[in-house]
Amino acid sequence: MEPIYYILDLKDDPAKIGSYKAWHQPGKPPAAVTRAIREAGIAELEIFLTGNRMVMVLTPGPDFDHSGKNQSESADPEVEAWETLMWQFQQALPFADPGEKWIRLEKIYALSDQP
C-alpha cells in the first residue's frame, strides 16, 4: 500500500517545539501508544518537521484499518492522555474542521503517471 501523508502545525514557540521533539525520541512515547499504532496495522509511521509545520507519513501494512486505530486509541486511557499532552504543543490548521488535527494530504502529481 502507498504511504498516506498528513499535516499539522505545532504552536510557533521554540520551547514547545523542542519539547514536542523530545517527547518523540525513541522510548519516550508510552508503550500503549506504540502498541495501538502497530495493532492498527501500521507498518511505519514517521513525522517530519520544518519550522512549526509537521508532515506525518503513515505506511499501511497489509492489515491496516484506520477506523480500528481510532477505536483502539479512544479505548485506551494512556493513549488518550498522550493525545491530550500532545495537543498542548499542536494547533489546528486554519482550514481544519472543528476538532480535526492531522489533515490528510491529497496527491496531485506523480512523475510515474506522466508520459
- CATH number of 32's domain: 3.30.70
* pTM of the full structure: 0.90
Domain membership of residue 53 (yes or no) is yes
Domain membership of residue 89 (yes or no) is yes
Q: How far apart are CA 28 and CA 69, in angstroms?
A: 20
Domain membership of residue 81 (yes or no) is yes
Lowest mean pLDDT among 9-13, 31-35, 65-69: 65-69
Number of domains in the chain: 1
Which structural domain range is residue 34 located in? 4-106
Q: Over pLDDT 70: what percentage of the chain? A: 92
What is the helix (H) or strand (E) element at residue 20, kind and residue range?
helix 14-23
Q: Over pLDDT 90: what percentage of the chain? A: 89
